[in-house]
């Protein structure tokens, strides 16, 4: 059975078979992959971003069931996940493009309520709430996103 894991990376080693990486911390002193505490929910196609000293993750396809709305914050210093540190997504979402923008997190498109979505949401860390942003021109999932200044580039 596959598990969702956080692995830290340094060059010249590969990840263990059947593990999905949530994110990676480059550790030049170890020269190897090092497993961290497993993500609390076994899932794939979740979104993640870095804010301050933390990694945030949300949504995904669990290995059983429908897309999920759970969110978690990873604390590298204690190698632990915190469920209460970030509000859950307004609805289950997987395979969305996401990125950091204006001290928050933009999550665009993805698989929501059984189909590809054009919705875009923003997590405001100051209020710990999700806000709706204008929709994309068409529904998309499985793409990658990058934010720069005043726009988000979505590559599908």
Using one digit for the tens of pLDDT, what is the confidence trace for 41-89?
989 999 999 999 999 999 999 888 889 999 999 998 899 999 999 999 9
**pLDDT, position 67:** 94
Nearest to 123 by CA among 110, 139, 108, 113: 108
Residue 10's pLDDT band (boundaries 50, 70, 90)?
very low
What is the reported pLDDT for 110?
A: 95
Q: What is the pLDDT of residues 143-154, one digit of tens each?
A: 888 877 777 777
Mean pLDDT over 23-39 rounds to: 65
Rounded to two decimals, the pTM is 0.78
Give the pLDDT band of residue 30 (cuts 50, 70, 90). low
Domains in the chain, CATH or no CATH each: 3-155 (2.120.10.80)
Token reading at 147: 């934010």
Instruction: Say if strands 80-82 and 61-62 run parallel, antiparallel, or are unpaired.
Output: unpaired
């Amino acid at each position: 059975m596959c598990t969702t894991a956080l692995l830290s990376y340094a060059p010249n080693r590969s990840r263990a078979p059947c593990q999905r990486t949530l994110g990676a911390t480059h550790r030049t002193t170890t020269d190897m992959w090092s497993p961290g505490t497993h993500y609390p929910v076994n899932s794939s196609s979740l979104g993640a971003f870095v804010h301050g000293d933390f990694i945030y993750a949300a949504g995904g396809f669990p290995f059983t069931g429908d897309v999920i709305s759970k969110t978690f914050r990873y604390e590298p210093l204690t190698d632990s996940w915190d469920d209460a540190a970030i509000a859950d997504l307004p609805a289950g979402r997987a395979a969305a493009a996401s990125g950091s923008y204006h001290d928050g997190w933009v999550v665009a498109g993805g698989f929501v309520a059984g189909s590809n979505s054009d919705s875009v949401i923003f997590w405001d860390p100051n209020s710990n709430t999700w806000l709706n942003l204008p929709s994309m021109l068409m529904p998309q999932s499985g793409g990658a996103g990058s934010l720069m200044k005043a726009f988000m580039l979505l590559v599908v």
